Amino acid sequence: MNTRRTFLRQTLAGSAAISLAGSLPGFLLGASRRANLTNSDNVLVVIQLSGGNDGLNTVIPYGDDAYYENRFTLAIPKSATLKIDDYIGFHPALRGFDRLLQNGQMSIVQGVGYPNPNRSHFESMDLWHTAHRISESEKLGWLGRCVDSVYSQADLPAIHYGEGLQPLALRTENKPIPTIRSIQDFRLNLNRQQESRQLLATVMKRKPGSENTLLGYIHESADVALRMSQRLEDIPESLRGKYGYPGSALGRNMSVIAQLIGSGLKTKIYYTMLDGFDTHSNQAAAHQSLLTDFSDSITAFQQEIADQGNNQRVTVFAFSEFGRRVRENASHGTDHGSAAPVFLFGSALKQRVIGDHPSFQSLDEGDLKFKIDYRRVYADLLKNWLSIDPATILLSDHQAVGLFG
């Protein structure tokens, strides 16, 4: 029979499908900043569009000749644009978004960015992930601060689902957040030996002494893994066929997230990613494929959530670290820019389009000037969706943009 310590080490190390992220030194040294759990039953799903989505070819200013003057081969013809109003319209790949917007299940926030734009993928994404300059404070994510400050007593307050490293946005000081790469693999890894599962459950009943902080951290991580495994066993096989999810990674991820929400899991925040938006060359076909995947995945997700009866308590927020430059480059692509639209989906949203499209007549070194600080979107989600005081998370005051009324 394995010893308690050996068993915990082997069980946690042997699971290739899950990683329990968090800052161990911060957990050991930092004081807890717990607050009362919010009464809100709402769920936030975050989709990171990695690489810098071309906002101009996503929400197209077809009513402005300057768009066509700067996009020699990439411009979407007016006749193909899915008209939103007499100035902007969707890329033709976004038919699902067009329906959601007409049905009041989508919001577009235009011209989102931040002061003194940085065109580095890493530095710009760090700003979006932390909600402040890295030099100003320790590297904790804006969503990680929600977990530390408000949800620290919840079993599984947040989940990162999908491949790749866990985003900085979820980095916590105290509460480990799981990264799950595959439900099927996770089930197999934790269900290989019934005897091991029973032993782990027995071990979890014996709480470590308060003097053993490191063992307490390991104990909590194993406990999270066990509870997650037990919950996943009750989730049905994929419903992708029924709802028309694409066979892409995003389609699979959104299908699983919908099932997790429908299972009754009390998780407040889900995070996943769609990569490939760094379209420096031959952009047209690649971007159309990405937008089709994005639109079809969200449309299927919204339908499944509605069928569950959860459409009033789930909001999806999708962002990219920056937009692309106004002028098309010589390789039929676009280079790193600044301001771009962000997208939200859900039945609780009250406005279709927020803000005016940035002007082509006043550019910042060839880029659109931002009109809405991204932290105003965060402030709205925190205050009016998650019922959390934005100032405690963003470390500064920002006016909500009016997503929920």
Return the number of other C-beta atoms located less than 10 Å from residue 376's C-beta. Answer: 21
Check which CATH number belongs to the domain holding 50 and give it: 3.40.720
In a domain, 399, yes or no: no
In a domain, 119, yes or no: yes
- Can you tell me the distance from the alpha carbon of 151 to that of 44, in angstroms, rounded to the nearest whole number? 13
Question: Looking at per-residue confidence, does 2 or 130 come out higher?
Answer: 130
pLDDT of residue 246 exceeding 80, the answer is yes
Q: How far is CA 315 from the centre of its chain?
A: 11
Measuring CA to CA, which residue among 258, 242, 287, 217 is closest to residue 12?
Answer: 217
pLDDT of residue 385 exceeding 80, the answer is yes
In this prediction, residues 253-268 reach a mean pLDDT of 90
If you average pLDDT over every residue of the chain, what do you get?
A: 83
In this prediction, residues 396-403 reach a mean pLDDT of 95
pLDDT band at 361 (very low <50, low <70, confident <90, very high): very high
In a domain, 340, yes or no: yes
In a domain, 380, yes or no: yes
In a domain, 400, yes or no: no
Question: Looking at per-residue confidence, does 16 or 79 come out higher?
Answer: 79
Q: State which residues form the domain around 72.
A: 4-394
In a domain, 405, yes or no: no
The whole-number pLDDT of residue 175 equals: 82
Q: How far is CA 18 from the centre of its chain?
A: 18
pLDDT digits 0-9 by tens, 153-201: 887 899 999 988 999 999 999 888 888 887 766 655 555 545 555 555 5
- Give the contacts of 260 (CB within 8 A, at least 6 positions apart): 159, 161, 235, 267, 270
Number of domains in the chain: 1
User: Which range has highest mean pLDDT (227-231, 241-245, 363-367)?
Assistant: 363-367
The whole-number pLDDT of residue 308 equals: 94
In this prediction, residues 248-261 reach a mean pLDDT of 94
Lowest mean pLDDT among 16-25, 123-132, 140-149, 375-384: 16-25
In a domain, 403, yes or no: no
pLDDT of residue 57 exceeding 60, the answer is yes
In a domain, 245, yes or no: yes
- Give the contacts of 229 (CB within 8 A, at least 6 positions apart): 186, 187, 190, 191, 197
SS3 of 311-359: the string is CCCEEEEEECCCCECCCCCCCCCCCECCCEEEEEECCCCCCCEECCCCC
The whole-number pLDDT of residue 353 equals: 98
- Can you tell me the distance from the alpha carbon of 157 to that of 231, in angstroms, rounded to the nearest whole number? 14
pLDDT band at 208 (very low <50, low <70, confident <90, very high): low
pLDDT digits 0-9 by tens, 74-133: 999 999 999 999 999 999 999 999 999 999 999 999 999 999 888 889 999 999 999 986
The whole-number pLDDT of residue 182 equals: 78
